[in-house]
Structure 1
Amino acid sequence: MRIHKILNNNVVTIVDEATSMEKVIMGRGIAFKKKVGETIDESKIEKVFLIENRKENIKFQQLIHEIPLEYITISEEIISYAKQQLKASFDDHIYVALTDHLAFAIKRASLGLEIKNHLLWEIQRIYKEEYKVGLWAIDFIGEKLGVKMPEDEGGFIALHLVNASLGKEMGDTMNMTAIVQDILNIIKYYFIIEFDEKDISYDRLVTHLKFFAQRIISKKKFTPSETTPLLELIKKNYGKQYDCALKIKSYIEKNYDYEISEEEIVYLSLHLYRVVSRQNE
């Protein structure tokens, strides 16, 4: 391995001969007294980053100049853990976005400054698995740096993971979270029920609403197989669920300029029937 660029004493880049892709190589003192073109002492390599998106690769290299090496390593550990736990792949931007976020969050926490996460309650219920990873992450940071992070920070980390898995901007993810929670509130108050969050029907409903919210934000229409003939059956047999679905339709069209199709109403009504039936039982 020959040095392509020296970013600092602990970080260099190389160009992979097989793929011609630039990799970021990290290790204590790996570039000390070294010059471009010289070989790397491979025993000093601690981390190898391959960010295929060239734009994100450049941003990541810029970030390396600004924050401690340890923070970058911690961020990479969290991302690797999240991939394993969530069985998910992430957009390359997470290496920049999460690392940059953690650097500021750690600094705030060390100064005793807290920023409230106003979507924490929603995140805990809508993105349960991502939130669990977020809690693991703040414990991991505490072990590595001795910095106590607030629970709100677990929610922020969870949102970054959701962003990266969907390829969305933070603003879109926050809007999607708000949409799902607002719809759950409409359902809860219409049927006067409290959700059993351990019930599989609730999980199925939330999963459906996540994709529903994603389509709303992306302005993409739902195009399943033909389901319109079911609409009359839904009206006849699941009248209250259909009426609640119409209330949700009205809320979405009023607030998000998104026209909901008959197919959406059918699927939403069926999910409502399942979850309400389980709650009544």
Structure 2
Amino acid sequence: MNAYLITKVLNNNVIICTKAQQEFVLIAKGIGFNKKSGMILEDNQAIEKVYILDQKSQQDHYKTLMELADDTLIQAVIDAVNIITNAVMKVDNQKLVISLTDHIIFAYKRLKQNQLINNPFVEETKQLYSEAYEIAEEVIERLNHVLDVNFPEDEIGFIALHIASNTESLSMREMDLINRLINKSIFILEHDLKHEIDKTSIQYQRFIRHIQFLRLFVNNGWSIKNEYI
């Protein structure tokens, strides 16, 4: 049967369904209106996004997140995910929809409570993941508009890291380690060697790219064969 069985209506725009013994998150404007568990939804209806959550922990986490947010916040999250998945970059949709939903909901709640988290790696993120950063800027612009808030630039960096972690073979932990390595290197240069670093310079951009390449060399077991090194 080419149809979905509705198992839970999260709100007017998001429902949980099953088909062929798999659980799906279906997203579309008004898709949950007047819908109830046990109803059949034809596959040919206007569905904007379909996400497969094949692990129970993911399913439970996503459902819990949906219960923490109102329709406006959920729509803002949906818009954010759509901006990223519609971009040129290839992303892991399943991983992204969970991590980004979690991040945006709690970032919004912290912002409303004036509990801002400083991001010390904004410049590094901007240089290392420039394409992801540009997409993140669009995401934050949309969130600010829909939610009538003003997320700081730090949040652009956080969103960019989430995007980058879903487009490269890097975990958030690995990217955090790279950023910490860059910051530690800069600290040594500036404080121990008394050499001031211009983070807007081409030299700085080349430096952090070399750090990124170093990570690639180490992770892939590559060696540098150069008789002059």
TM-score by length of 1: 0.62
1:140, CA displacement in angstroms?
A: 0.8
d(CA) in 2 for partners of 1:48 and 1:91? 10
Secondary structure at the residue paired with 1:135? helix
The equivalent residue for 1:131 is 133
The equivalent residue for 1:273 is none
- Letter of the aligned partner of 1:113 in structure 2? Q
- Letter of the aligned partner of 1:108 in structure 2? R
Alignment deviations for residues 235-275 of structure 1 (CA, whole Å, 9 cap, x no partner): xxxxxxxxxxxxxxxxxxxxxxxxxxxxxxx5xxxxxxxxx
**Residue identity (%):** 20
Task: Give me the CA root mean square deviation.
Answer: 3.6
1:99, CA displacement in angstroms?
A: 0.9
Query: Greater shift after overlay, 207-216 or 173-182?
Result: 207-216
1:170, CA displacement in angstroms?
A: 3.0
- Letter of the aligned partner of 1:13 in structure 2? I
Which structure 2 segments of 5+ residues have no match? none
Is the alpha carbon distance of 1:53 and 1:211 closer, same or farther for their aligned partners in structure 2, counting shifts above 3 Å?
farther
Q: How many residues align?
A: 223
d(CA) in 1 for partners of 2:100 and 2:60? 16
Q: Return the structure number with greater strand share.
A: 2
- 1:223 aligned onto 2:226: no
Contact 1:176 1:210 in 2 (8 A): yes
d(CA) in 1 for partners of 2:107 and 2:53? 27
Q: Which has the higher contact order (CA 8 A, sep 6+)?
A: 2
1:183, CA displacement in angstroms?
A: 4.1
Contact 1:94 1:164 in 2 (8 A): yes
Q: Return the structure number with greater helix share.
A: 1
Which structure 1 segments of 5+ residues have no match? 235-265, 267-281
Secondary structure at the residue paired with 2:24? strand
Contact 1:180 1:210 in 2 (8 A): no
The equivalent residue for 2:18 is 15
Is the alpha carbon distance of 1:39 and 1:145 closer, same or farther for their aligned partners in structure 2, counting shifts above 3 Å?
same
Alignment deviations for residues 124-147 of structure 1 (CA, whole Å, 9 cap, x no partner): 333333222222222111111211
- Return the index of the structure with the highest Cα Rg: 1
d(CA) in 2 for partners of 1:111 and 1:196? 32
TM-score by length of 2: 0.74
The equivalent residue for 2:105 is 103
